[in-house]
Structure 1
Amino acid sequence: MSAVPADATGQHADATGQHAGSRWSAVAAYALVAAATQLLWLSFAGVSTVAAGHYGVSETAIGWLAQVFPLLYVVLAVPAGLVLDRWFRGGLLAGAGLTAAGAVLRLAGDDFLWVLAGQAMVAVAQPLVLNAVIGVTGRYLAAPDRPAGIAIGTAGTISGMVLAFVLAAVFPEAGDLTTMLGIGAAFAIAAAVALGVALRVPGRQPHTRPPAGLGALRIAWADRFVRRLCVLVFLPFGTFIALTTFAQPLLEPAGVSGATASVLLLINVVAGVIGCAVVPVIAARRRIELTMLVVGVSVAAAGCAVLAAAPGAASGFTVLLLIGFLLLPTLPVVLALTERRAGPAEGTAAGLIWLSGNLGGLVVATVVGLLVDHPAVAFLVMAAGALAALPLVGLLRPFLRARLGG
């Protein structure tokens, strides 16, 4: 029997092109758990008014059921990364278990405080799950498969947002809330079980533990390439979060109804799922990661400028579709670049990337929120924020050439 030839990286592929040691079941199960976190995060986004009436609280209070997620992520991103770098399987499984437990806790009583407690538990778990995307691919996939694995994990994450919007559309009434929460709990439990089964055997890829304590943070933050990636994602993802948060009120003066805006946002997220599954893989294979970053950021800036000049349903559809397909995939592209550099500090490095994106969302969304009565100005602010990231992309090129072989 002839030996299986090795590819350019030294990894061996079987007759189907799969590389030896890659266990895709772990990535698939991880994607389900990541989707569960986003499903639970946005459970009430489409039924805020109904939920407020049902629980006897204000819509602002219902908003906190979602706002608790980015706020806790900012606080817990780095600690969660340190946990994953030292105890990866235990940390990730704890995140999956807490996600399922929080989903169940929301059903403990038909009361706002129970729901808030469940949301807070899931928000604590979320950094342990999302920060693990690099770690799960690094431990369970051969090196050539990792960009595709990160793309699948990220696409799975965003697909949870799609599922949240769909459930809100299918169960829009107050009497449907318990059913909707029950479906979310069932999904989270099934995903946690699937991950537990998939991770029962350690990954076959070599991995070095970072030093104890804050060693992983020192390693990650000492890398100027990682720091520049953090700065890069701050404004574009802040722009994306602000756009999805305020698209409806900003487009309303142009005659775009709330129902139409909801459809546009759903199209935006569906396009993001498809883009995250496809664009990063192509970028990695053709070594055009920086080109795709430039394209994504440029499209976001141009799209927001178009909405400032000519807001409407047609322009909103085109812009949100393109931004979803081309801007959202820049996240897995950045994470794949991080994976190639982070080494033993991959969880902490991923945490820094997610932390920067969430901080950008809080800052840009806050500014845009203050301008919600001036749509053109708000869209131009978002365009400027995305455009400001372009020079940062060029600063990455020397690092890719010198150390990543790009």
Structure 2
Amino acid sequence: MSPPDAASDRALERVVRAETGHIVASLTASLGNFDLAEEAVAEAVIEALVHWREAGIPPNPGGWLTTAARRNALDRLRRDKRYRQKLEILADTSRRSAKEVDERLPLLFGCCHPALTETAQLALTLRAVCGLTTEQIARATLSTPTATGQRIVRAKRKIGAAGIPLRVPVGEERASRLDLVLTVISVMYNEAHLVAGGDAGADRDLADDAVWLADVVAHALPGEPEALGLVALVKFHRSREGARSVGGDIVLLADQDRSRWDVGLQTQAHAALRAAAAQNRPGRWQLHAAIAACHADAPDFASTDWDQIVTLYDMLLVYDQSPVVMLNRAVALAETGHASRALVEVEGLRGDLERFHLWHAVRGNLLARLGCDDEAVEALNEARKRTQNDAEQRLLRARGGTSV
């Protein structure tokens, strides 16, 4: 039986995800102080956690959180004469206008500023714009909660000290920051899946919010093919959601019932990918989407064009030489009949990915293909120990053949 506060905690989680970016952006626009806005919202979330457990979920949870955040900001401003004139502005902004629905876009670019390190940009954006917790961000970025929290604090201080504006840049400045904005949305989508202590079902609110945000960026920046590439990628992935889990258990791609894939979303994804390709400016998000399209177009797993996928990964490495891309390429290479070569490439990634559970899982699967059963079981059990998701643990335990 769920504890009595479980319902209020889930409601708060949904509101934080949906409203955090809007509230932070609105307060920052009024105050001109990002750090104050983010701190006011963070305090409101803590207040909601306690109050909602005691008094129940309010009729308008989003309004409650907005009011609490504004009150916190007002309390802080009353202690600072420099902001005295802004009290009236804040007091009058009691309701969010329809125009504010896209306020997350300038907030996204403001957080993704070159004055910050890339890891700090990613962590801060996931916190301020998307409402993810420090623990969620740590998992998504393969870091620790302590390091992530310190990174967020330093980033907020730097934004205040440098006077970084929250706006959508233009020209070369935008080009240099768009990729990280798209990365943030991609990580946000990935975080909707396989949460710690959960089953294989996706967090639909978070996944849908990431798809929506990708559309917002692409529609606001129609001349950016990479934004369209990300739209295609997340919609290809979202289209498979209905088949990737059954009864809380993971269904691997090879075993998925493709009749459950969402054809409408795949059609939208193909249209976005074609629109991106028409601009004749290839990039990593378009190539990721092209790989996803190969899977979407195959009528069954056996018909997958793995040679084409390996070729696309080779093209992708021109733009993205991250260890995770190399790991995924090795998986595709093994499907072309080159498991031994794939294992050599995976072993070469040990230094970068050894603490990443999927590296152990891929290595274990390759060892099993090559008949190294004992080593395969050991690798799969190591992968199981390194994931906190229940569904992944069950899958890896079954494939490893042991409950150790």
| TM above 0.5 | no
Of the two, which has the highest radius of gyration? Answer: 2
Q: Which TM-score applies when normalising by structure 1?
A: 0.33
TM-score (norm 2): 0.33
Greater per-residue helix proportion? 1
Higher relative contact order (CA 8 A, sep 6+): 1
